[in-house]
Each structure stands twice: as C-alpha cells, then as structure tokens.
C-alpha cells in the first residue's frame, strides 16, 4: 500500500530522518522530517499551469504549529489554533527566503509549501526541521527547484561553535545564527549576537555552511530513489529578444538619464512616463505588448547594474562605500517617555519608547510553554511613506519580520529586568522610505530609548549592504536605496555597536555568494556603522540619567516568601484594595520581589507602607495604630499591621475600671495600641491604656 523511502543520518549527535511515501501522498512532494523527537510534515504543491499575467513567482510558505505536538490544548474560548503566531510568521519567512531564488526564472505556477509541526520534544527547534523538510519536499516534487538547500542553527560558547544547540541552551549562547544555502554557497543568514567581531560572524556562517552539507547529500540520495519526473519550464517567448533590442534602442538612453536623477519622486515620475511610452510604442503587436513589462524590467536592471560596475557611481551619484546624509534627533515629541527621529537620505523613522510595569509585559503562549517578554519592538510601514495610497490593515509578514530584526539588533544590549524593572515598548513609524527602513528603525530605537532613560550601555546602529555581480566582476554597495535593493543581488543587513555585531541578516537573489564577497561586505558595513554611530552620538551620547517624569516610578522591595499570600489576600482582595486606594500598580513575583509602580511619590510611599505593614512582625514594646474590628464582653480585637489582629483585654483599655468595652470603643474606631507580647497560643496581646490616645505616645510610668 505504501511505497516508503527513508533516509537517516547522524547530524550533530542526533538522528535526522527524512521519510516519504507514507503521509500526504497526493501532494507533489511530501516529507516527514524528524530530528530527535521533533517531527514536521512538509508538503509542496504547485499548479500544473502558470498563472496568467504575473511578472513574479507566486510562492506561499506556511509554517504552522499544532499545540498537540507539545501535548497541549489551545488556550482561549475557541480551543483551536487561530491566526498565525509571531513565531509561525517569522519561520514562514525564514523558509521562504532561501528557496525563492532557486526556482527557474520563467516558472510562474502558483506554489505552496506547508510545514506542520506534529511533535515537539522541546529541545530541537522545529524551524530547522521544517527548513530541511521543505527543501526535501520541493526536491522530490519535480518542480523546477534548483536545490536542494541545507540549513542549520549555529551557537557560540566559550570560543567554540555549536551545531543546532538545544532550545534550552540558546539563551545562554553568545550567538544564535541560522544559515541556509546550497552546496555551492550561502543564500540566507539570520542571527542575533552578543556584540561579536565581524570575523567571528563570518567564521560562523562558513562553519554552518560546512555542517549542512551532509543534509544536502541525504536529500540528493533520497531524490535519486524516488523524485518525480521534472516539470517542463516555459521558454522565453521568441518576441522577447526582438522587443528587448527595440526598447533598448528607443528608450535605453532616456532610462539611463532617468536613473541618474537623485530625487526618488522625480525619478519615479520620469520612469513611469518612459514605461508608458514604451508600452504605447508596442500597442499594435499584442505579443510584443505582452512581454514588454518583463523586458522593461530586464532593461532597467541591465542599465543600472552596468553603470555601477563600469563607473562605480550609483543612482544618486554616491560611490559604492558612501552613506547618505544623516540627521539624528531626540526629544522630538513632548508627551512621550522617549522619542527619536532618524533620517538617512529619503528614509526616515519616527520612533517612540514607552515604559510600563510588569503588568504590561507581552505574554507569549508558545509550544515550549508560556513566557513573558519585557522588551517589545513594533514596526509600522504606512502607505504614505512611499507616496502611495493603500489599505490600513493589521501588520503583515514584512512588518513583523522587520520589527523582529530590529528587536534582535537591540536585545543583546538591553538592561536586565533586575537592573531596570520596566517593560519597554518601542514603536517605529516609518514616515519616509527609500530602502533600509529596518536599519533606520534600529538607529531610531537606540536614540529613543536613550532619550527615555533606558540604560543602554552604547548606541546601536544598522546599515544595509547590497551587491551587483556580473560574471567575475562585482560591487558591494553601502547603505542601499530601494531601487538598488530591487535591482541588486543581495540584501545584507548588519547592526551593532562600536564593540561588535548584534545582528546580521542576509538574503541572496542569485544562486550563492562567496566568502570573499561576504568579507568585503562586512568590512564595508563596519566602516559605515562607525560613521552612522558618530552621527547619532551628535544627538545623544549616553542614556539620560533618569526616566521621564511622565513614566511610572518603580520601587523594588523584597518580602519574605511566606508573606506573599498575606499581601495578595483571598482571591487577590488585599492587593486589589491597596492598588485601588493608593493608585499604584503592584507586581509580586514568586521569589518575594515586589515591584510598586506609581506616577507620583506619595502613591508609591502609601503602597509601600501598606505592604510593609502587612509583612512586618509585631514587636513587644512597640506602639501601633489599628482599627477596632470586633468587640466581645472581655475586650476588643484590633486590626493592625495589615491583616494582623490582636486582643485588647478589657483590663488594658483604660487606667480605670471599664464595665464593658462598648463603653469606650465602637467597631471601626481607630486606636493606638502597645504590643505587650504573645500569649501561650502565639496570639498578640495589646494595651490601649499605656498609650496616649490623642498623640499616640507611650505613657511614661510614674515612679
């Protein structure tokens, strides 16, 4: 019934198993990938005919985690998986990026890759398993995929690289780097690092490239056994070459002149005019008109790339190593906790920082379990930033991905929760965009957080590098613009401080790049980053000494663990009362750490005094103020020190005979009492007669 094919290798000390032929047999390619006890089903399906009128490749990658994989039931009311989580979105992008450039140029069939996590051992991250499985499924499918690719995660600890470190080990590693590529070279890098030197980052990429070679070999061996017949790929229409020559002759010069216009809006207007005239010139021939848009795109690409390779001059006249003019400002918004405006050429980010309490932390319900994040960074890319109209919707994959890249760049230099007990939310609004907006977000976020008083040890900046490669000739471009990104071969983003690299992301549009090119890019990026940091430091050199007066003031106190229950009270009654009566916010942790946040000192002090009153132990001889809560024939019970009650015996109520306690006090009265000690059962004994009820002073005994 089943024609099962299976390939198993030892990879990083754990078995990697690729199996096909048992599950999802109607997909063009389906592989069950297993690493340890983490299992991911990866499928690839393509339409059998191309989508008409498309000038791009319609590839969709969906990575999805089923909670059953970790033995959990989804939270919430509906109790089933819903919209993609951030992890699912980021992993979908992670898989998409290295496989997209490997499809044949003329392949325009709608293609979908779905990776479903079916089992998770909580040690081996499913993202790596999904990348390997997706590569295998595409290789078996018969679609014109020029793979396979391999991928791995690289850690760095004590000067040694680690292959696919366990998820529990990643937080303590100096490096979390994902690298993917073919047997020839690297196609994609995504990383977060603890200010490592460029040489270590490059070494990690090259080391990872070597480690996934055996995965590629295993996929090739599996494909030799059971791959489907290769699909045919449409040839270029015969008219394409003719149209290319026509358009080059008629419009090549004007396109070259248009791409010499430095201003983006003027350039786009001129290019739009030329494109329309080119289409009008071919209107009489339907087939020529059909191929014209793709030919124009090729012609523009050829002109821009050729100019850069030949002259070393770019669209805006810069040299390949130059960075656009930079403006950095802080404190630009009056009522935010911190703000920064970073402008680089025609790319601009308005970034704000808001400080909150532990109650504002992001709660993440992951397969590995629930955890909290006290640092959040959100990136928005509204249509107006590129001079367009568009629908305002929830953040898309691109916005989530760019926000996470900036988060990775800044997270290694964020203060610990213990040293800075605030929740930090950074919001980046891209107000202008002409390339490298994610790196502008890194720069603006650093400015904004320093303005808010977040104690960053150093400024952090980012720069996007590009590549133009024609044969053996190439040019690495610093601080690329949008057109250079679109028409180039590489998007290589490097972020970090003066001490080292904190994040590196690379996407390649050609089959691979050499280590030499990456070395040149890293060296140029280092010089560019130092220049940008110098410009940023003209605005602010270090974090402000204190947080904004509009930010909550947070005081941290320690209480005995056994007193936590008393502070919270039954059903949270006590802590809720303290918050309502003082206006403070209170976070209580299991280790006895209590954080009190308030907008003014009076509210903070009131809450602290209430908590101290609850946690303090009564001492014999001390005077306290309390409330009469119950009256009996033999005396009155007084509530003092939070929830602590003590008895004032009728004989201790006054220095004269009291017939009944009600003759002297009523429930709800506030009285001063002196602690006499404890009875045999540990109950507190109190006295009113030894304290002046007017002043609260202890009455001196007369000799």
**CA dist., res. 342 & res. 437, Å (int):** 10
Q: For residue 85, what is the DSSP state?
A: P
Cβ-based neighbour number of residue 663 at 10 Å:
10
The structure tokens listed for 12 are 């990083």
Whether 491 has a binding-site annotation, put simply, is: yes
> Residue 347's Cα: distance from chain center in Å?
21
> Residue 422's Cα: distance from chain center in Å?
18
Alpha-helix residue ranges (DSSP H) falling in 317-375 = none
- β-bridge partners, 161: 156
The three state secondary structure string of 145-193 is: ECCCCEEEEEEEECCEEEECCCCCCHHHCCEEEEEEECCCCEEEEEEEE
**CA dist., res. 450 & res. 455, Å (int):** 7
End-to-end CA distance of the chain: 106
Cβ-based neighbour number of residue 440 at 10 Å:
31
Q: For residue 20, what is the DSSP state?
A: E
Buried/exposed code over 58-72 (b: 16+ C-beta within 10 A; e: otherwise): ebebbbbbbbebbee
- β-bridge partners, 40: 33, 117
The structure tokens listed for 127 are 């993202």
Asked whether the beta carbons of 96 and 135 are under 8 A apart, the reply is: no
Phi/psi at 201 (nearest 5 deg)?
-65, -45
Asked whether the beta carbons of 595 and 587 are under 8 A apart, the reply is: yes
Asked whether the beta carbons of 673 and 685 are under 8 A apart, the reply is: no
The structure tokens listed for 631 are 């009256």
Nearest to 108 by CA among 233, 218, 222, 255: 233
Q: Which residue has the tokens 């025609």?
A: 346
CA distances to 28, 118, 132 from 23, rounded to whole Å, are 12, 12, 17
Residues 6 or more apart whose Cβ sits within 8 Å of residue 76 = 82
3-state secondary structure (DSSP) of residue 338: strand
**CA dist., res. 132 & res. 138, Å (int):** 10
The three state secondary structure string of 119-148 is: ECCCCCCHHHHHHHHHHHHHHHHCCCECCC
Nearest to 295 by CA among 234, 249, 241, 254: 241
Whether 679 has a binding-site annotation, put simply, is: no
Buried/exposed code over 640-655 (b: 16+ C-beta within 10 A; e: otherwise): bbbebbbbbbbebbee
Asked whether the beta carbons of 464 and 491 are under 8 A apart, the reply is: yes
Nearest to 427 by CA among 458, 403, 443: 403
The structure tokens listed for 109 are 């069939």
Residues 6 or more apart whose Cβ sits within 8 Å of residue 579 = 585, 586, 607
Alpha-helix residue ranges (DSSP H) falling in 512-572 = 515-536, 564-568
Rounded to 10°, the helix 264-281/286-311 angle is 140
The structure tokens listed for 672 are 């001063």
Residues 6 or more apart whose Cβ sits within 8 Å of residue 404 = 86, 90, 377
Numbered residues of the known binding site: 485, 491
Binding-site members for Mg(2+) are 485, 491
């Amino acid at each position: 019934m089943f024609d099962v094919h299976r390939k198993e290798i030892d990879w990083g000390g754990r078995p990697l198993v690729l199996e096909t032929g048992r599950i999802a047999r109607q997909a063009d390619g389906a592989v069950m990938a297993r690493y340890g006890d983490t299992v991911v089903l990866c499928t690839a399906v393509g339409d059998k005919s191309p989508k008409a009128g498309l000038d791009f490749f319609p590839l969709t990658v969906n990575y999805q985690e089923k909670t059953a994989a970790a033995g959990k039931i989804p939270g919430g009311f509906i109790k089933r998986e819903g919209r993609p989580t951030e992890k699912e979105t980021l992993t979908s992008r992670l898989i998409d990026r290295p496989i997209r450039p490997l499809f044949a140029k003329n392949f325009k069939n709608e293609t979908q890759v779905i990776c479903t996590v079916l089992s998770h051992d909580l040690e081996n991250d499913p993202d790596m398993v999904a990348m390997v499985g997706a590569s295998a499924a595409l290789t078996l499918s018969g679609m014109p995929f020029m793979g396979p690719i391999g991928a791995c995660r690289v850690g760095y600890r004590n000067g040694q690289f680690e292959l696919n470190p366990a998820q529990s080990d990643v937080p303590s590693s100096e490096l979390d780097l994902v690298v993917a590529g073919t047997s020839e070279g690297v196609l994609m890098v995504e990383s977060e690092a603890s200010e490592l030197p460029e040489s270590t980052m490059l070494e990690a990429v090259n080391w990872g490239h070597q480690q996934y070679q055996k995965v590629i070999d295993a996929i090739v061996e599996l494909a030799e056994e059971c791959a489907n017949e290769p699909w045919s790929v449409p040839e270029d229409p015969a008219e394409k070459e003719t149209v290319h020559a026509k358009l080059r002759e008629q419009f090549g010069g004007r396109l070259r002149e248009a791409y010499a216009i430095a201003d983006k809006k003027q350039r786009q207007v001129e290019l739009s005019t030329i494109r329309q005239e080119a289409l009008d010139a071919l209107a009489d021939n339907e087939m020529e008109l059909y191929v014209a848009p793709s030919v124009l795109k090729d012609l523009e690409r050829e002109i821009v790339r050729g100019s850069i390779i030949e002259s070393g001059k770019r669209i805006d006249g810069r040299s390949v190593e130059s960075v656009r003019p930079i403006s950095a400002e802080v404190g630009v918004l009056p009522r935010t906790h911190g703000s920064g405006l970073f402008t680089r050429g025609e790319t601009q980010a308005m970034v704000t920082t808001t400080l909150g309490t532990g109650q504002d932390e992001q709660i993440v319900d992951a397969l590995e379990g629930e955890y909290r994040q006290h640092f959040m960074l959100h990136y928005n890319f509204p249509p107006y930033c590129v001079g367009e109209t568009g629908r305002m919707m929830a953040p898309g994959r691109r916005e989530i991905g760019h926000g996470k890249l900036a988060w990775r760049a800044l997270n290694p230099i964020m203060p610990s929760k213990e040293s800075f007990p605030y929740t930090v939310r950074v919001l980046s609004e891209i107000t202008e965009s002409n390339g490298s907006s994610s790196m502008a977000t890194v720069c603006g976020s650093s400015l904004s957080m320093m303005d808010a008083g977040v104690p960053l040890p150093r400024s952090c900046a980012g720069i996007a590098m590009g590549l133009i490669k024609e044969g053996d000739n190439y040019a690495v471009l610093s601080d690329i613009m949008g057109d250079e990104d679109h028409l180039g071969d590489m998007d290589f983003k490097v972020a970090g401080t003066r001490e080292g690299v904190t994040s590196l992301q690379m996407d390649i549009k050609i089959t691979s790049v050499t280590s030499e090119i990456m070395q040149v890019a890293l060296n140029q990026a280092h010089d560019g980053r130092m220049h940008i940091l110098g410009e940023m430091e003209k605005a602010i050199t270090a974090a402000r000494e204190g947080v904004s007066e509009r930010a909550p003031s947070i005081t941290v106190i320690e209480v005995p663990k056994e007193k936590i229950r008393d502070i919270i009270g039954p059903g949270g009654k006590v802590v809720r009362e303290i918050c309502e009566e003082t206006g403070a916010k209170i976070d209580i942790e299991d280790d006895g750490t209590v954080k009190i946040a308030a907008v003014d000192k009076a509210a903070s002090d009131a809450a602290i005094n209430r908590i101290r009153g609850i946690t303090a132990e009564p001492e014999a001889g001390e005077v306290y103020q309390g409330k009469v809560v119950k009256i009996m024939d033999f005396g009155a019970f007084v509530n003092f020190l939070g929830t602590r009650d003590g008895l004032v015996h009728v004989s201790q109520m006054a220095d004269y005979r009291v017939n009944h306690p009600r003759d002297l006090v009523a429930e709800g009265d506030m009285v001063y009492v002196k602690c006499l000690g404890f009875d045999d059962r540990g109950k507190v004994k109190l006295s009113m007669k030894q304290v002046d009820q007017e002043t609260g002073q202890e009455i001196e005994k007369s000799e």
